[in-house]
């Protein structure tokens, strides 16, 4: 996977700052999903999220009595799934949700959980410095990060 410039949420120059992706479209999709075994608890943006310094929006569901968080990168229409919101996320696949997020790139868990090798990216020098400083545990934790 080639990491695109700006996907981390760090920008070298003010004029490089990207507009955030469609939070309200994401929220609409999350509220429209209806299944017997699925309950939506919250949809969060930066203003009401558990972590304020994040590069993603999220929706918290209960699916078959388990937590499911759907993460949307703030700067690119990229979706991922986790069962716990934590700094070092363990990404999962959730095929049942893929049909609701057409038009978004859904990255598989193997890719997200793999180690960042420093190759195959278009990241800026500033982004690479932040990655070096924060030492995220995987590609997914670069894309869906929480920086203190």
Residue 139 domain-assigned (yes or no): yes
Residue 148 domain-assigned (yes or no): no
**CA distances in angstroms from 137 to 6, 17, 78, 131, 144, listed in the order given:** 19, 25, 19, 10, 11
Q: List pLDDT tens digits, range 73-101.
A: 999 999 999 999 988 999 999 999 999 99
Q: List pLDDT tens digits, range 34-88.
A: 777 789 999 988 665 555 578 899 999 999 899 999 999 999 999 999 999 988 9
Residue 110 domain-assigned (yes or no): yes
**CA distances in angstroms from 4 to 11, 33, 83, 128, listed in the order given:** 12, 29, 25, 12
Residue 114 domain-assigned (yes or no): yes
Residue 4 domain-assigned (yes or no): no
Residue 75 domain-assigned (yes or no): yes
Query: Are 118 and 103 contacting, i.e. CB atoms less than 8 angstroms apart?
Result: no
Residue 10 domain-assigned (yes or no): no
> What is the distance between the alpha carbons of residues 56 and 45, in angstroms, rounded to a whole number?
8
DSSP E strand stretches across 22-108: 38-44, 56-63, 66-73, 78-82, 91-92, 105-106
pTM of the model: 0.90
Percentage above 90 pLDDT, the chain: 62
What is the total count of domains within the chain?
1
**CA distances in angstroms from 97 to 12, 71, 136, listed in the order given:** 35, 12, 26
- Residues forming beta bridges with residue 59, ordered by sequence position: 43, 70
Residue 95 domain-assigned (yes or no): yes
For residue 57, the enclosing domain spans 18-143
């Amino acid at each position: 996977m080639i990491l695109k410039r700006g996907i981390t949420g760090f920008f070298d120059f003010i004029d490089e700052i990207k507009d955030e992706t469609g939070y309200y479209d994401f929220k609409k999709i999350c509220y429209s999903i209806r299944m017997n075994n699925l309950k939506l608890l919250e949809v969060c943006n930066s203003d009401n999220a558990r972590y304020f310094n994040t590069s993603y929006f999220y929706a918290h569901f209960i699916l078959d009595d388990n937590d499911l968080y759907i993460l949307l990168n703030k700067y690119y229409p990229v979706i991922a799934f986790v069962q716990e919101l934590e700094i070092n996320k363990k990404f999962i696949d959730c095929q049942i949700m893929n049909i609701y997020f057409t038009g978004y790139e859904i990255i598989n868990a193997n890719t997200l959980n793999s180690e960042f090798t420093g190759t195959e990216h278009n990241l800026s020098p500033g982004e690479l410095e932040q990655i070096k400083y924060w030492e995220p545990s995987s590609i997914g934790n670069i894309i869906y990060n929480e920086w203190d």
